[in-house]
Structure 1
Amino acid sequence: MLFILFTLDSERYVIDATQVERLMPLTPQSPPKTIPGAPSWVAGVLDHEGAPLPLIDLPALALGRPAAQLMSTRVVLVRYPHAGTTRLLALLLEGATRTIRLDVTAFHDAGLDMPHARYLGPVASEAGGLVQWIRVEHLLPDDIKALLFPEAHA
Protein backbone atom coordinates (compact mmCIF):
# COMPACT_ATOMS: atom_id res chain seq x y z
CA MET A 1 0.00 0.00 0.00
CA LEU A 2 1.28 3.48 -0.83
CA PHE A 3 1.63 6.09 1.93
CA ILE A 4 2.71 9.73 2.14
CA LEU A 5 5.61 9.91 4.60
CA PHE A 6 6.03 13.01 6.80
CA THR A 7 7.57 13.99 10.12
CA LEU A 8 6.51 15.45 13.44
CA ASP A 9 9.78 16.62 14.97
CA SER A 10 12.09 13.62 14.47
CA GLU A 11 9.32 11.00 14.38
CA ARG A 12 7.99 9.55 11.12
CA TYR A 13 4.32 9.17 10.26
CA VAL A 14 2.30 8.13 7.23
CA ILE A 15 -1.13 8.77 5.76
CA ASP A 16 -2.84 6.54 3.23
CA ALA A 17 -2.07 7.92 -0.24
CA THR A 18 -5.49 6.80 -1.52
CA GLN A 19 -7.02 9.47 0.74
CA VAL A 20 -4.84 12.20 -0.78
CA GLU A 21 -6.34 14.41 -3.45
CA ARG A 22 -3.32 16.67 -3.95
CA LEU A 23 0.00 17.82 -2.45
CA MET A 24 0.91 21.49 -2.70
CA PRO A 25 3.80 23.60 -1.43
CA LEU A 26 3.09 26.01 1.40
CA THR A 27 2.84 29.45 -0.17
CA PRO A 28 3.27 32.52 2.06
CA GLN A 29 1.73 34.64 -0.74
CA SER A 30 -1.72 33.23 0.03
CA PRO A 31 -1.93 32.51 3.77
CA PRO A 32 -5.05 30.91 5.22
CA LYS A 33 -7.90 33.04 6.57
CA THR A 34 -7.91 32.62 10.34
CA ILE A 35 -11.05 31.53 12.18
CA PRO A 36 -11.48 33.56 15.39
CA GLY A 37 -12.09 31.35 18.41
CA ALA A 38 -10.98 28.17 16.65
CA PRO A 39 -8.44 25.90 18.34
CA SER A 40 -4.81 26.81 17.62
CA TRP A 41 -4.41 23.76 15.38
CA VAL A 42 -7.11 24.98 13.01
CA ALA A 43 -4.83 27.17 10.91
CA GLY A 44 -7.84 28.64 9.10
CA VAL A 45 -9.36 28.16 5.68
CA LEU A 46 -7.76 28.26 2.24
CA ASP A 47 -9.35 29.34 -1.01
CA HIS A 48 -9.41 26.17 -3.10
CA GLU A 49 -10.90 26.60 -6.55
CA GLY A 50 -13.21 29.32 -5.23
CA ALA A 51 -14.41 27.43 -2.15
CA PRO A 52 -13.19 27.66 1.45
CA LEU A 53 -11.21 24.64 2.58
CA PRO A 54 -10.38 24.04 6.29
CA LEU A 55 -6.64 23.84 7.04
CA ILE A 56 -5.52 21.68 9.98
CA ASP A 57 -2.00 22.29 11.28
CA LEU A 58 -0.97 18.75 12.25
CA PRO A 59 2.16 19.78 14.23
CA ALA A 60 -0.05 22.18 16.24
CA LEU A 61 -2.60 19.41 16.85
CA ALA A 62 -0.07 16.73 17.81
CA LEU A 63 2.79 18.73 19.35
CA GLY A 64 1.26 22.04 20.41
CA ARG A 65 3.42 24.12 18.05
CA PRO A 66 2.68 25.50 14.59
CA ALA A 67 4.15 23.89 11.49
CA ALA A 68 7.56 25.25 10.57
CA GLN A 69 7.76 27.33 7.40
CA LEU A 70 10.13 24.93 5.62
CA MET A 71 10.62 23.97 1.98
CA SER A 72 9.45 20.47 2.94
CA THR A 73 6.22 21.70 4.59
CA ARG A 74 3.28 20.84 2.37
CA VAL A 75 -0.44 21.43 2.22
CA VAL A 76 -1.95 18.00 1.65
CA LEU A 77 -5.57 17.87 0.49
CA VAL A 78 -7.23 14.75 1.85
CA ARG A 79 -10.64 13.21 1.36
CA TYR A 80 -12.24 13.33 4.80
CA PRO A 81 -15.34 11.19 5.42
CA HIS A 82 -18.07 13.22 7.12
CA ALA A 83 -21.84 12.84 7.53
CA GLY A 84 -22.19 10.14 4.88
CA THR A 85 -20.17 12.03 2.29
CA THR A 86 -16.54 12.94 1.61
CA ARG A 87 -15.23 16.46 2.18
CA LEU A 88 -11.88 17.92 1.25
CA LEU A 89 -9.73 18.89 4.20
CA ALA A 90 -6.29 20.50 4.02
CA LEU A 91 -3.52 19.27 6.31
CA LEU A 92 -0.31 21.15 6.99
CA LEU A 93 2.48 18.54 7.17
CA GLU A 94 6.22 18.91 7.69
CA GLY A 95 8.71 16.80 5.75
CA ALA A 96 6.04 15.54 3.34
CA THR A 97 8.38 15.02 0.40
CA ARG A 98 8.16 11.33 -0.44
CA THR A 99 6.06 8.22 -0.52
CA ILE A 100 6.69 4.80 0.95
CA ARG A 101 5.20 1.36 0.23
CA LEU A 102 4.27 -0.75 3.22
CA ASP A 103 2.21 -3.91 3.54
CA VAL A 104 -0.89 -3.29 5.65
CA THR A 105 -0.13 -6.49 7.57
CA ALA A 106 3.16 -4.92 8.75
CA PHE A 107 1.20 -2.53 10.98
CA HIS A 108 0.52 -3.48 14.59
CA ASP A 109 -1.32 -1.85 17.48
CA ALA A 110 0.96 0.66 19.23
CA GLY A 111 -0.11 -0.68 22.63
CA LEU A 112 -1.41 2.66 23.95
CA ASP A 113 -5.00 3.85 24.20
CA MET A 114 -4.94 7.55 23.33
CA PRO A 115 -8.55 8.80 23.69
CA HIS A 116 -7.51 12.42 23.02
CA ALA A 117 -5.58 11.39 19.87
CA ARG A 118 -7.70 8.72 18.14
CA TYR A 119 -6.00 9.62 14.86
CA LEU A 120 -2.81 7.86 16.04
CA GLY A 121 -3.03 4.47 14.38
CA PRO A 122 -0.86 1.37 14.34
CA VAL A 123 2.91 1.29 13.86
CA ALA A 124 5.11 -0.57 11.37
CA SER A 125 8.81 -1.24 11.31
CA GLU A 126 10.75 -0.57 8.12
CA ALA A 127 14.34 0.19 7.10
CA GLY A 128 14.31 3.69 8.62
CA GLY A 129 12.71 2.59 11.90
CA LEU A 130 9.13 2.76 13.15
CA VAL A 131 6.42 4.71 11.34
CA GLN A 132 2.95 5.42 12.70
CA TRP A 133 -0.19 5.55 10.59
CA ILE A 134 -2.25 8.71 11.04
CA ARG A 135 -5.93 7.89 10.51
CA VAL A 136 -7.37 10.87 8.64
CA GLU A 137 -10.95 9.84 9.46
CA HIS A 138 -10.24 10.26 13.20
CA LEU A 139 -8.48 13.64 13.07
CA LEU A 140 -11.38 15.87 14.05
CA PRO A 141 -13.41 15.74 17.27
CA ASP A 142 -17.17 16.34 16.94
CA ASP A 143 -17.05 19.97 18.15
CA ILE A 144 -14.47 20.85 15.48
CA LYS A 145 -16.48 19.04 12.79
CA ALA A 146 -19.43 21.27 13.76
CA LEU A 147 -17.20 24.34 13.45
CA LEU A 148 -15.69 23.38 10.09
CA PHE A 149 -18.75 21.77 8.49
CA PRO A 150 -21.73 23.67 10.01
CA GLU A 151 -24.22 22.74 7.27
CA ALA A 152 -24.00 19.07 8.26
CA HIS A 153 -24.96 19.96 11.84
CA ALA A 154 -27.80 22.41 11.08
Structure 2
Amino acid sequence: MGEFETRHGTAPTARQALFLVFRIGNERYALQAIDVVEVLPRLPLKPIARAPAWVAGVFAWRGTVVPVIDLCALTFGQDAEARTSTRLVLVHYRPDSGQAGHVLGLILEQATDTLRCDPADFQPYGLENRQAPYLGPVREDAQGLLQWVRVNDLLDASVHAMLFPTPPLNPHDFEARP
Protein backbone atom coordinates (compact mmCIF):
# COMPACT_ATOMS: atom_id res chain seq x y z
CA MET A 1 0.00 0.00 0.00
CA GLY A 2 1.24 3.49 -0.82
CA GLU A 3 1.73 6.30 1.70
CA PHE A 4 -1.65 7.93 0.85
CA GLU A 5 -3.58 4.67 1.34
CA THR A 6 -1.79 4.00 4.62
CA ARG A 7 -2.60 7.43 6.04
CA HIS A 8 -6.16 7.66 4.77
CA GLY A 9 -7.18 4.00 4.63
CA THR A 10 -8.44 4.23 1.04
CA ALA A 11 -7.37 2.80 -2.26
CA PRO A 12 -6.62 5.12 -5.16
CA THR A 13 -9.70 5.94 -7.23
CA ALA A 14 -10.02 5.18 -10.92
CA ARG A 15 -9.42 7.99 -13.37
CA GLN A 16 -12.72 9.85 -13.63
CA ALA A 17 -13.89 12.11 -16.46
CA LEU A 18 -16.98 14.25 -16.82
CA PHE A 19 -19.34 13.69 -19.76
CA LEU A 20 -22.28 15.70 -21.08
CA VAL A 21 -25.14 13.27 -21.70
CA PHE A 22 -27.76 13.90 -24.40
CA ARG A 23 -30.25 11.97 -26.49
CA ILE A 24 -30.91 11.31 -30.12
CA GLY A 25 -34.45 9.97 -30.13
CA ASN A 26 -34.57 7.41 -27.32
CA GLU A 27 -30.85 6.65 -27.42
CA ARG A 28 -28.26 8.13 -25.04
CA TYR A 29 -24.94 9.59 -26.12
CA ALA A 30 -22.14 11.46 -24.38
CA LEU A 31 -19.47 14.04 -25.15
CA GLN A 32 -16.43 14.35 -22.94
CA ALA A 33 -16.88 17.62 -21.03
CA ILE A 34 -13.30 18.64 -21.74
CA ASP A 35 -14.41 19.09 -25.39
CA VAL A 36 -17.25 21.45 -24.42
CA VAL A 37 -16.64 25.20 -24.66
CA GLU A 38 -20.10 26.42 -23.69
CA VAL A 39 -23.72 25.23 -23.53
CA LEU A 40 -26.23 27.71 -24.95
CA PRO A 41 -29.97 27.65 -25.55
CA ARG A 42 -30.93 26.96 -29.14
CA LEU A 43 -30.36 30.19 -31.13
CA PRO A 44 -31.43 31.44 -34.57
CA LEU A 45 -28.92 30.46 -37.24
CA LYS A 46 -28.10 31.74 -40.71
CA PRO A 47 -28.54 28.82 -43.13
CA ILE A 48 -25.70 27.83 -45.47
CA ALA A 49 -26.91 27.41 -49.05
CA ARG A 50 -26.34 24.00 -50.62
CA ALA A 51 -24.81 22.57 -47.45
CA PRO A 52 -25.70 19.04 -46.35
CA ALA A 53 -29.11 18.91 -44.61
CA TRP A 54 -27.47 18.26 -41.23
CA VAL A 55 -25.53 21.53 -41.39
CA ALA A 56 -27.94 23.75 -39.44
CA GLY A 57 -26.20 27.05 -40.26
CA VAL A 58 -23.83 29.56 -38.69
CA PHE A 59 -23.98 32.29 -36.07
CA ALA A 60 -21.64 34.96 -34.72
CA TRP A 61 -20.18 34.16 -31.30
CA ARG A 62 -17.63 36.40 -29.61
CA GLY A 63 -16.41 37.83 -32.92
CA THR A 64 -16.16 34.47 -34.68
CA VAL A 65 -18.48 32.79 -37.17
CA VAL A 66 -19.34 29.37 -35.76
CA PRO A 67 -20.77 26.63 -37.99
CA VAL A 68 -23.44 24.47 -36.38
CA ILE A 69 -24.41 20.90 -37.19
CA ASP A 70 -27.51 19.05 -36.07
CA LEU A 71 -26.18 15.81 -34.63
CA CYS A 72 -29.62 14.15 -34.86
CA ALA A 73 -29.79 14.91 -38.59
CA LEU A 74 -26.18 13.82 -39.14
CA THR A 75 -26.67 10.53 -37.33
CA PHE A 76 -30.20 9.44 -38.27
CA GLY A 77 -31.40 11.91 -40.93
CA GLN A 78 -34.05 13.62 -38.76
CA ASP A 79 -33.79 17.16 -37.39
CA ALA A 80 -33.49 17.58 -33.63
CA GLU A 81 -36.81 18.29 -31.98
CA ALA A 82 -37.35 21.85 -30.78
CA ARG A 83 -37.61 21.13 -27.05
CA THR A 84 -36.76 23.35 -24.11
CA SER A 85 -33.94 20.88 -23.38
CA THR A 86 -32.48 21.10 -26.91
CA ARG A 87 -29.20 22.96 -26.64
CA LEU A 88 -26.58 24.52 -28.86
CA VAL A 89 -23.37 23.05 -27.48
CA LEU A 90 -20.11 24.64 -28.57
CA VAL A 91 -17.19 22.23 -28.71
CA HIS A 92 -13.46 22.33 -29.43
CA TYR A 93 -13.04 20.68 -32.83
CA ARG A 94 -9.46 19.57 -33.55
CA PRO A 95 -9.45 17.10 -36.45
CA ASP A 96 -5.67 17.24 -36.78
CA SER A 97 -3.30 17.78 -33.88
CA GLY A 98 -0.97 19.68 -36.22
CA GLN A 99 -3.56 22.36 -37.01
CA ALA A 100 -5.29 25.00 -34.90
CA GLY A 101 -8.62 23.97 -33.44
CA HIS A 102 -12.01 25.51 -34.19
CA VAL A 103 -15.21 26.08 -32.29
CA LEU A 104 -18.05 23.97 -33.72
CA GLY A 105 -21.68 24.15 -32.66
CA LEU A 106 -23.75 21.02 -32.13
CA ILE A 107 -27.52 20.94 -31.76
CA LEU A 108 -28.20 18.29 -29.14
CA GLU A 109 -31.52 17.06 -27.72
CA GLN A 110 -32.01 16.74 -23.98
CA ALA A 111 -28.47 17.92 -23.25
CA THR A 112 -29.14 18.55 -19.57
CA ASP A 113 -27.31 15.81 -17.66
CA THR A 114 -23.73 15.00 -16.84
CA LEU A 115 -22.05 11.79 -15.81
CA ARG A 116 -18.72 11.25 -14.07
CA CYS A 117 -17.15 7.90 -14.84
CA ASP A 118 -13.93 6.17 -15.84
CA PRO A 119 -13.43 6.51 -19.63
CA ALA A 120 -12.19 2.91 -19.61
CA ASP A 121 -15.80 1.88 -18.82
CA PHE A 122 -16.59 2.57 -22.49
CA GLN A 123 -15.92 -0.55 -24.55
CA PRO A 124 -15.84 -1.21 -28.33
CA TYR A 125 -19.16 -2.56 -29.58
CA GLY A 126 -17.70 -4.74 -32.32
CA LEU A 127 -18.83 -2.83 -35.41
CA GLU A 128 -16.70 -0.66 -37.68
CA ASN A 129 -19.08 2.06 -38.89
CA ARG A 130 -17.17 3.97 -41.57
CA GLN A 131 -20.23 6.16 -42.27
CA ALA A 132 -20.24 7.41 -38.66
CA PRO A 133 -16.64 7.25 -37.38
CA TYR A 134 -17.52 9.72 -34.60
CA LEU A 135 -19.65 7.10 -32.84
CA GLY A 136 -17.23 5.60 -30.36
CA PRO A 137 -17.36 2.91 -27.71
CA VAL A 138 -20.34 2.20 -25.44
CA ARG A 139 -20.86 1.98 -21.69
CA GLU A 140 -23.60 -0.03 -20.00
CA ASP A 141 -25.38 1.24 -16.90
CA ALA A 142 -28.81 0.92 -15.27
CA GLN A 143 -30.39 3.01 -18.06
CA GLY A 144 -28.96 0.91 -20.90
CA LEU A 145 -26.15 1.70 -23.32
CA LEU A 146 -24.47 5.09 -23.54
CA GLN A 147 -22.34 5.82 -26.63
CA TRP A 148 -19.36 8.17 -26.66
CA VAL A 149 -19.35 10.72 -29.50
CA ARG A 150 -15.83 11.67 -30.55
CA VAL A 151 -15.93 15.35 -31.51
CA ASN A 152 -12.75 15.34 -33.59
CA ASP A 153 -14.16 12.64 -35.90
CA LEU A 154 -17.44 14.42 -36.70
CA LEU A 155 -16.58 15.93 -40.09
CA ASP A 156 -14.97 14.49 -43.18
CA ALA A 157 -12.39 16.55 -45.08
CA SER A 158 -14.85 18.05 -47.61
CA VAL A 159 -17.31 19.24 -44.93
CA HIS A 160 -14.43 20.52 -42.81
CA ALA A 161 -13.23 22.64 -45.77
CA MET A 162 -16.75 23.99 -46.33
CA LEU A 163 -17.40 24.90 -42.67
CA PHE A 164 -13.93 26.21 -41.89
CA PRO A 165 -12.81 28.02 -45.07
CA THR A 166 -9.43 29.64 -45.43
CA PRO A 167 -9.39 32.58 -44.87
CA PRO A 168 -12.15 32.51 -42.21
CA LEU A 169 -15.48 34.26 -42.79
CA ASN A 170 -16.04 37.72 -41.30
CA PRO A 171 -19.00 37.85 -38.82
CA HIS A 172 -19.79 41.41 -39.93
CA ASP A 173 -20.91 39.96 -43.26
CA PHE A 174 -23.87 38.39 -41.43
CA GLU A 175 -25.11 41.50 -39.64
CA ALA A 176 -28.04 43.50 -41.04
CA ARG A 177 -26.95 46.53 -43.05
CA PRO A 178 -28.99 49.78 -43.14
Q: Same fold (TM over 0.5)?
A: yes
Cα contact 2:95–2:153 (8 A) shared by 1: no
Give 1:51 shift: 2.1
Match of 2:41 in 1: 25
Give 1:70 shift: 0.3
Higher Cα radius of gyration:
2
Query: Match of 2:101, SS?
Result: strand
Give 1:49 shift: 1.7
TM-score (norm 1): 0.93
TM-score (norm 2): 0.81
In the alignment, the residues of structure 1 paired with residue 116 and residue 144 of structure 2 have an alpha-carbon distance, to the nearest angstrom, of 14
Give 1:86 shift: 1.2
The answer on 1:58 being equivalent to 2:74 is no
User: Structure 1 pair 5/55, CA: closer, same or farther in 2 (3 Å)?
Assistant: same
Of the three residues 133, 136, 142, the one matched with 1:121 is 136
Match of 2:52 in 1: 39
Q: Which amino acid aligns with 2:49?
A: P
Matched-pair identity in %: 44
Cα contact 2:30–2:148 (8 A) shared by 1: yes
How many aligned residue pairs are there?
150
Match of 1:99 in 2: 114
Match of 2:162 in 1: 147
Point out the structure with the larger strand share. 1
In the alignment, the residues of structure 1 paired with residue 140 and residue 80 of structure 2 have an alpha-carbon distance, to the nearest angstrom, of 26
Q: Which ranges of structure 2 fall in alignment gaps of 5 or more residues?
A: 1-16, 168-178
In the alignment, the residues of structure 2 paired with residue 79 and residue 51 of structure 1 have an alpha-carbon distance, to the nearest angstrom, of 13
Write the deviation string for residues 38-86 of structure 1: whole angstroms up to 9, x where unpaired.
0000001011123210001000100101111100100000000045111
Q: Which ranges of structure 1 fall in alignment gaps of 5 or more residues?
A: none
> How much is the aligned-residue C-alpha RMSD, in angstroms?
1.4
In the alignment, the residues of structure 2 paired with residue 136 and residue 42 of structure 1 have an alpha-carbon distance, to the nearest angstrom, of 15
Match of 2:22 in 1: 6
